[in-house]
């Protein structure tokens, strides 16, 4: 029972034939969301194994696997789990962050709707490891279909004795509840999420205390992304070495990369960390449909990179993208066409962050939500003035690193990178009020 299963046949990548998709292995299959299907395909064996090896061993395996959080920050998951107090006699919580709101990210939605049991299994494993008795899945309010699938899956699991008292005879009790958000990007930030779950305004909380010490309802809590929990299921299924054998030195395992923008086959691709942008864009996504000038590597808050050979040959892992001046983030890659005005595109993102600012702290509420967005509006409406770009840069300096949470910094990702890469487009708008790339028709038949 404790032996790890034989990993699936290594196929798919033309570059490196050792890797096989597991997280998305069943996404899109008929009935993949049902317990029957899941069981037929080896489901709930990982949790059985977890119960057999014991909770501390589970944390050790996750540590050994090298798994890092897939929600954006890339914090080592096993280490995070080990922060939870061991025998403090208090109830512990785990929360699945299914708020997926970072523009350009859409991997979790399919995991939730197509393979909900994989997530539930991962959460049982995590709860077991961290001695949690209740788990919440905080799903963004707009994911109605996914919420229904999760809802149904929770009930199936309860009925099958996979949730509730004495799960699979292990003596371990655990319950999962679904909590739906209602449209606020900030709820992805873990402390804001906890406030939202408590029925409060979703403002981020002070840290310390960190969630592992005082989280939901003031009790020890650990929050992980959907993909992180799913990866934990696979790690417990195939063993830490299998997972650690994939990816690069510090970025282990498979990652769900998403690609959007003008490419032949936009979508989600499960690839090993360290796969290059070139392979994702050309080999998997079928290549760009038009001339591209910039790549957003991991969701809109990650600074954009120039579309050139250097970027294309950059391996998509935490370290290499950081070295290139950006972040892996959620792995949501977006291509920005050459013919689109970069200021306009950036305005769209700034507008997003301005709309999503929670309003708690001054630099974000006033700097981003009131001022920055209007500076951009001014440019794209053709009212730019010389000096505007310099002002945007100086404002950014006064915002960056001064805000309460990372949302304001997230907005500066596209701002600063686009100015750095495409200053001439900004200058053209500020000085001549005319964009280098004017409006064009974008709404077309496929």
Task: Give kind and range of the element (H or E) at residue 136.
Answer: strand 134-139
Based on the shown chain and the rule CB under 6 A, indicate whether residue 365 belongs to the binding site for ligand SF4. yes
User: Binding segment for another protein among 47-55, 78-86, 344-352, 420-428 (CB under 8 A)?
Assistant: 344-352
Based on the shown chain and the rule CB under 6 A, indicate whether residue 47 belongs to the binding site for ligand SF4. no
Q: Which is nearer to ligand FMN, 35 or 111 (CB)?
A: 111
Are 233 and 122 in contact, with CB atoms under 8 Å apart? yes
Instruction: Kindly tell me which residue out of 62, 167, 410, 429 binds ligand FMN, with binding defined by CB under 6 A.
Output: 410
Based on the shown chain and the rule CB under 6 A, indicate whether residue 224 belongs to the binding site for ligand FMN. yes
Judged by CB under 8 A, the chain residues 102 through 131 that form the site for another protein are 102-106, 108-110, 113-114
Site string for ligand FMN, 350-389 (x = CB under 6 A): ----------------------------------------
Size of the site for ligand SF4 (CB under 6 A): 14
Instruction: Kindly tell me which residue out of 3, 89, 171, 309 binds another protein, with binding defined by CB under 8 A.
Output: 309
Q: Which is nearer to ligand SF4, 134 or 349 (CB)?
A: 349
User: Binding segment for ligand SF4 among 82-90, 146-154, 233-241, 401-409 (CB under 6 A)?
Assistant: 401-409
User: Binding segment for ligand FMN among 66-74, 209-217, 271-279, 388-396 (CB under 6 A)?
Assistant: 66-74
Q: Do strands 267-272 and 292-296 pair parallel, antiparallel, or not at all (unpaired)?
A: unpaired
**Tokens at 425, concatenated:** 């487009």
Query: Residue 9: how many CB atoms within 10 A of its CB?
Result: 8
Based on the shown chain and the rule CB under 6 A, indicate whether residue 359 belongs to the binding site for ligand SF4. yes
Q: Which is nearer to ligand SF4, 185 or 229 (CB)?
A: 185
Give the strands of the sheet with 305-306, arranged side by side: 267-272, 254-260, 332-337, 292-296, 305-306
Q: Where are the alpha helices (DSSP H) in 160-239?
A: 190-197, 226-238
User: Binding segment for another protein among 62-70, 136-144, 164-172, 424-432 (CB under 8 A)?
Assistant: 136-144
What is the nearest approach in angstroms of another protein to the Cβ of residue 121? 19
Judged by CB under 8 A, the chain residues 198 through 237 that form the site for another protein are 198-202, 205-206, 217-218
User: Binding segment for ligand SF4 among 117-125, 173-181, 405-413, 431-439 (CB under 6 A)?
Assistant: 405-413
Q: Do strands 93-98 and 134-139 pair parallel, antiparallel, or not at all (unpaired)?
A: parallel
| Environment class of 62 (CB within 10 Å of its CB; exposed 0-12, middle 13-18, buried 19+) | buried
DSSP string, 366-413: IIIIIIIHHHHHHHHTT---TTHHHHHHHHHHHHTTTSSSTHHHHHHH
Distant-in-sequence, close-in-space partners of 155: CB < 8 Å, separation ≥ 6: none
Distant-in-sequence, close-in-space partners of 419: CB < 8 Å, separation ≥ 6: 389, 392, 393, 426
Nearest to 347 by CA among 435, 265, 264: 435
Are 69 and 80 in contact, with CB atoms under 8 Å apart? yes
Based on the shown chain and the rule CB under 6 A, indicate whether residue 189 belongs to the binding site for ligand FMN. yes
Cα dist from 152 to 33, 115, 148, 159, 395, whole Å? 9, 12, 6, 11, 48
What is the nearest approach in angstroms of ligand SF4 to the Cβ of residue 188? 11
Based on the shown chain and the rule CB under 6 A, indicate whether residue 102 belongs to the binding site for ligand FMN. yes
**Tokens at 64, concatenated:** 């050994």
Are 163 and 175 in contact, with CB atoms under 8 Å apart? yes
Q: Which does 255 bind (CB under 5 to 8 A by kind): ligand SF4, ligand FMN, another protein, none?
A: none
User: Binding segment for ligand FMN among 9-17, 69-77, 359-367, 372-380 (CB under 6 A)?
Assistant: 69-77
Instruction: Kindly tell me which residue out of 99, 270, 279, 317 binds ligand FMN, with binding defined by CB under 6 A.
Output: 99
**Tokens at 81, concatenated:** 């789990």
Based on the shown chain and the rule CB under 6 A, indicate whether residue 223 belongs to the binding site for ligand FMN. yes
What is the nearest approach in angstroms of ligand FMN to the Cβ of residue 409? 8
Distance CA 103, CA 413 (A): 13
Chain residues in the site for ligand SF4 (CB under 6 A): 186, 204, 357-361, 364-365, 403-405, 407-408
């Amino acid at each position: 029972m404790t032996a790890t299963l034989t990993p699936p046949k290594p196929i798919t990548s033309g570059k490196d034939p050792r890797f096989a998709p597991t997280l998305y292995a069943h996404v899109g299959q008929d009935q993949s969301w049902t317990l029957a299907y899941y069981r037929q395909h080896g489901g709930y064996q990982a949790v059985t194994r977890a119960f057999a090896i014991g909770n501390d061993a589970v944390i050790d395996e996750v540590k050994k696997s090298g798994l890092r959080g897939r929600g954006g920050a890339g914090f080592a998951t096993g280490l995070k789990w080990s922060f939870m107090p061991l025998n403090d006699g208090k109830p512990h919580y785990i929360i699945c962050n299914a708020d997926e709101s970072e523009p350009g990210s859409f991997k979790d939605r399919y995991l939730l709707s197509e393979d909900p049991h994989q997530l539930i299994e991962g959460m049982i494993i995590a709860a077991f490891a961290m001695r949690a008795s209740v788990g919440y899945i905080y799903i963004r309010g707009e994911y109605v279909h996914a919420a229904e699938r999760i809802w149904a899956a929770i009930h199936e699991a309860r009925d099958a004795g996979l949730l509730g008292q004495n799960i699979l005879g292990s003596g371990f009790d655990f319950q999962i509840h679904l909590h739906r958000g209602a449209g606020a990007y900030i709820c992805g930030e873990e402390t804001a999420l906890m406030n939202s779950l408590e029925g409060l305004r979703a403002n981020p909380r002070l840290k310390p205390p960190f969630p592992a010490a005082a989280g939901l309802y003031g009790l020890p809590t650990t929050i992980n992304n959907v993909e992180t929990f799913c990866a934990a299921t696979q790690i417990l299924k195939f063993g830490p070495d299998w997972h650690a054998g994939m990816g690069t030195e510090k970025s282990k395992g498979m990652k769900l990369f998403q690609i959007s923008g003008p490419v032949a086959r936009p979508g989600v691709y499960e690839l090993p960390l360290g796969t290059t942008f070139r392979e994702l864009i050309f080999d998997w996504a079928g290549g760009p449909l038009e001339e591209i000038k910039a790549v957003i590597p991991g969701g809109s808050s990650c600074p954009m990179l120039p579309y050139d050979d250097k970027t294309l040959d950059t391996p998509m892992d935490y370290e290499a993208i950081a070295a290139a001046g950006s972040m892996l983030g959620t792995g949501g890659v977006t291509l920005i066409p050459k013919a689109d005005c970069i200021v306009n595109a950036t305005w769209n993102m700034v507008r997003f962050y301005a709309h999503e600012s929670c309003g708690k702290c001054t630099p974000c509420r006033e700097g981003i939500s009131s001022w920055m967005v209007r500076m951009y509006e001014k440019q794209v409406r053709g009212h730019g003035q010389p000096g505007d770009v310099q002002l945007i840069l100086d404002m950014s300096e006064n915002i960056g690193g001064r805000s309460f949470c990372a949302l304001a910094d997230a907005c500066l990702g596209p701002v600063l990178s686009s100015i750095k890469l495409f200053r001439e487009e900004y200058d053209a708008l500020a000085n001549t009020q005319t964009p280098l790339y004017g409006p064009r028709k974008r709404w077309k038949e496929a």
